[in-house]
Amino acid sequence: ALPIYCPVNPAVPGGLLTYTGTVSNAGNILLTNVVILNNLSGVSPIFTAATLAPGAVANFTGSYVAPAACSSTSTSTGTAQSICGIAVTNAASTTCPITTTPLLAVTQACPVNPAAPGGLLTYSGTVSNAGNILLTNVVVLNNLSGVSPIFTAATLAPGAAANFSGSYLARTICSSTSTATATAWSICGVAVTNAANATCPILTTPQIAVTAVC
């Protein structure tokens, strides 16, 4: 018999996922050369025992690096031989949750040369995956650029960043504030969003004209 158990505190992607388990002799004959391997813990055994008496139970512990996923399934396989020379084997699998942190970061910047009233104000920015899990369906909208997205991406890997740009007509005011809002979903189905504001100056030309008539 070979049950295995997930850690009490789930691992994070890239962290060490340490599982535990027990191996027992459920038969009525002494077992020899008991070996346990786990498919995600490498080629070295995670447990060995020269013998295991009928009814005896032994604990084992193993670990592996948690993938950037919502959960991870590993299989521990035990092999042994009875003292009568009969080979026996058994396996157990367990699926352990992984603690993911989906995050989006957004920046927005004004143009180097301010726009004039009625001219095109073109801003730029970046959207990045600041979390530890793959994001999908990344969309960036700006409240002054209309209903069409100014940026889309099917996926954005952890640590990856992408540039975007957009524009709108500058109004006859001293400055204009727009908001870029990014949304996405993690591969675990968690929605994330973030936003950035930019207040851009408008290049106005105040003048006064005076005439005098006799």
pLDDT digits (tens, 9 = 90+) for 109-126: 999 999 999 999 999 999
Backbone angles phi, psi at 15, to 5 degrees: -90, 175
Whole-model pTM?
Answer: 0.84
Distance CA 39, CA 194 (A): 39
Rg (CA), the chain: 31
User: Alpha-carbon distance 120 to 74, whole Å?
Assistant: 56
What totals of helices (H) and strands (E) does the chain contain, helices first?
A: 0, 14
Structure confidence by residue, pLDDT tens digits, 20-48: 999 999 999 999 999 999 999 999 999 99
Q: Cβ-count burial of 178 within 10 angstroms (0-12 exposed, 13-18 middle, 19+ buried)? A: buried
Structural contact between residues 1 and 23, judged by C-beta atoms closer than 8 angstroms: yes
